[in-house]
Structure 1
Amino acid sequence: MLSARNLFQEILDEDESFRLFCSIAASGESQGGWENGRIAALVPESQRALAPKITRHGADEDKHGRIFHALLKKRGLQPVEVPHETDYTMLLEKHGIGLAHERLGRREPLSEHDIITYLAHSRVTEQRASEQMKLLRKHFADHPDLGRAVRMISNDEDNHLAYCHEELIRLALVGHGRTIQRVLRECALAEIRVYRDVSLAVMDHMGRILGWPRVKAAALTAGIHGIYAYERLLGWRRMVSLEPPERRDALGGPAAQAAESD
């Protein structure tokens, strides 16, 4: 039976597919950690109160990268080079979404519009991350090797999403509402295209590693295209709505520590 649980279990059980999965995840998280660290250092004076929260966000992302590397180490595996076509973070940047690495590499302070761009980009991508981790938590929260990591990362992603909602609402209330909605829509429509392309690329690599028959590969490809069609028509709207989160000041305290080597 072709299900999310069975698919991920198959990837988990084979060393080379697990190695690629963790390498892709660790790379994306590490890039997110670097980006947030640079943004925290360049926050404009008008938004300095955000700096500790952005720093916390980056620390969480770095922690997640270490967790995925630790999962590899526990199985005696080394990370592999991430194929370009599976690099979600860099492909988003290539499509003009978020703040470019070239901009973050300079020492010039960011503008308020840059902060809106960062938060809108994060609100969209953290929606995706939160949903993906909820799916993994549903099926693998009690897994002896993955369970603790899945629960911790899922909780962090929910915190990140709550933080983005809260800060974007705050900025909307002081006059940035139209800009926020425009940037959110642009980010969401670009993200669903990139997510489709990355999903197709990852499934292609996994299919070759695991020797999937053509029928199975075709079914997965059709499913990815079906998800994209739904998101292009209606699903993107969940990524642009703003609601007061149940978790208030979700990044206001110290980051939870992980025993990554467990």
Structure 2
Amino acid sequence: MLTAKGLFQEIIDNDESFRLFCSIAASGESQGGWENARIAALVAPGMAELTPKIVRHGADEDKHGRIFRALLRKRGLEPVPVPPDTDYTMLLERRGIGLTHDKLRRDERLTEEDVIVYLAHSRVTEQRAADQMDMLVAYFGDHPELGRAIRMIDDDEANHLAYCHEELLRLARAGHGRLIQRTLRESALVEIRVHRDVSLAVMGHMGRVLGWSRPKAAVLAAGIHAVYAYERAAGWHRMVGLRTPERLDALGGPAVPAPAY
């Protein structure tokens, strides 16, 4: 019987599939670090109080990229180029979600609406990241090779999600509720499609590396489509709700260092 834990165990146990998994993860985290650094540098003048938190968010993402690259080094592996069809961040951008890299490369101040769009987009994508890391911790939190790294990343992702909830609620109270609600819904509906497409692409690449049979690949693809069908019908709602988080001011201090990485 195929299980998520068994699938990830198979990927982790093979050097080439592990190499691809960590390379994709490191690339995505590094892109997130760059994006947050640029947003912090260009943040709207009236929202300068957010700058230290955005800087902290970017520093965390950079740290996660270093952690995944360090996991590769521990096995004596080098990163591989990320297949374009697995590039979650860029696929979201191409579908109009978040702030474009072209905008972030300009030395022009962002507007308040830009910052709200960034936060709403982050609330959706951080939900996905937090859910995925929670799953990995549940399965591999005690793993001798991965456990410490994924627990550290999981804690950071929980902080990022709490930060997005808290800041969006504050901005909603300040009169931006309709923009926030509209952006959250648009972002969530696009994100679940991109997540489906990226998941199919990743499983396709993994299947070729690991030599999966056609029936096994078909079962995995059917499972991905089933998750998408559920999320399209109702599951996306979990990505758009806002509530006061248990962790208040979650990004209010400096980034927690990871000296081992």
Does the alignment reach a TM-score above 0.5? yes
Tell me, yes or no, if structure 1 residue 237 matches structure 2 residue 252: no
- Map Cα deviations across residues 122-141 of structure 1 (whole Å, 9 max, x no partner): 00000000000000000111
Tell me, yes or no, if structure 1 residue 206 matches structure 2 residue 241: no
- Map Cα deviations across residues 161-214 of structure 1 (whole Å, 9 max, x no partner): 000000000000010001100000000000000000000000000001001111
Q: Equivalent residue for 2:186?
A: 186
Q: Equivalent residue for 1:19?
A: 19
CA 1:260/1:21 → structure 2, altered by over 3 Å: closer, same or farther? farther
- Map Cα deviations across residues 140-173 of structure 1 (whole Å, 9 max, x no partner): 1111110000100000000000000000000000
What is the one-letter code of the residue matched to 1:121? Answer: H
Secondary structure, in 3 states, of the residue corresponding to 2:120? helix
What is the one-letter code of the residue matched to 1:145? Answer: E
Secondary structure, in 3 states, of the residue corresponding to 1:187? helix
Q: Aligned equivalents of 1:151 and 1:234: distance in 2?
A: 29
Deviation at 1:215, TM superposition (A): 1.1
Q: Equivalent residue for 1:137?
A: 137
Any stretches of 5+ residues in structure 1 without a counterpart? none
Q: Aligned equivalents of 1:260 and 1:128: distance in 2?
A: 26
Any stretches of 5+ residues in structure 2 without a counterpart? none
Deviation at 1:40, TM superposition (A): 0.2
CA contact (8 A) 1:123 1:161 kept: yes
Deviation at 1:45, TM superposition (A): 1.3
Tell me, yes or no, if structure 1 residue 43 matches structure 2 residue 43: yes
Secondary structure, in 3 states, of the residue corresponding to 1:243? coil
What is the one-letter code of the residue matched to 1:85? Answer: D
What is the one-letter code of the residue matched to 1:51? Answer: T
Scaled by the length of structure 1, what TM-score is found?
Answer: 0.99
Secondary structure, in 3 states, of the residue corresponding to 2:82? coil
Q: Equivalent residue for 1:101?
A: 101
Aligned residues: 261
- Map Cα deviations across residues 220-252 of structure 1 (whole Å, 9 max, x no partner): 000000000000010000000000000000000
Q: Equivalent residue for 2:33?
A: 33
Q: Equivalent residue for 1:246?
A: 246
What is the one-letter code of the residue matched to 2:183? Answer: V
Show the 5 A alignment for 1:52-63. Answer: 52-63=52-63
Deviation at 1:259, TM superposition (A): 2.9
CA contact (8 A) 1:120 1:164 kept: yes
Q: Aligned equivalents of 1:145 and 1:22: distance in 2?
A: 13
Q: Equivalent residue for 2:65?
A: 65
TM-align CA RMSD: 0.6
What is the one-letter code of the residue matched to 2:32? Answer: G
Moved segments of 4+, more than 6 Å: none
Q: Aligned equivalents of 1:44 and 1:235: distance in 2?
A: 33
What is the one-letter code of the residue matched to 1:108? Answer: E
Secondary structure, in 3 states, of the residue corresponding to 1:80? coil
Deviation at 1:254, TM superposition (A): 1.3
Identical-residue share of aligned pairs (%): 72
Q: Equivalent residue for 2:88?
A: 88
Q: Aligned equivalents of 1:242 and 1:46: distance in 2?
A: 23
What is the one-letter code of the residue matched to 1:62? Answer: D
CA contact (8 A) 1:66 1:260 kept: no
Deviation at 1:100, TM superposition (A): 0.1
Q: Aligned equivalents of 1:155 and 1:224: distance in 2?
A: 26
Tell me, yes or no, if structure 1 residue 163 matches structure 2 residue 163: yes
Q: Aligned equivalents of 1:133 and 1:246: distance in 2?
A: 18
Q: Aligned equivalents of 1:158 and 1:41: distance in 2?
A: 24
Q: Equivalent residue for 2:174?
A: 174
Scaled by the length of structure 2, what TM-score is found?
Answer: 0.99
Secondary structure, in 3 states, of the residue corresponding to 2:186? helix
